Amino acid sequence: MSETQTAQEILERHYLEMRCGLLSLAASLDRLSRAPGADKIANDERMKLLSDAMAIVASDEDNRAERLQLLLSDEYVSGWNR
């Protein structure tokens, strides 16, 4: 049985991966804002979802992954596979 990792150990293990994800997101947002037609996507629902998702990630509340999953998932449709 393994011991529970400390916050410091988790940070040491995942910092570079987390940093990479943030840089990738920032680069994608920069490309969007510089691309022709950027003004036309301002009201796109997906941009609102991304903004709401970033607010969840930046929050101090627990269960960020669960809240992101719920935000970004489609509602269940009974019989979807028929």
- How big is the chain by its Cα radius of gyration, in Å? 17
Tens digits of per-residue pLDDT, 8-62?
A: 999 999 999 999 999 999 999 999 999 999 999 999 999 999 999 999 999 999 9
Separation of first and last alpha carbons in the chain: 43
Cβ–Cβ under 8 Å, residues 28 and 35: no
Tens digits of per-residue pLDDT, 26-38?
A: 999 999 999 999 9
DSSP string, 16-56: HHHHHHHHHHHHHHHHHHHSTTGGGGTT-HHHHHHHHHHHH
Closest CA to 68 of 58, 53, 48: 53
Is the pTM of the predicted complex or chain greater than 0.85? no
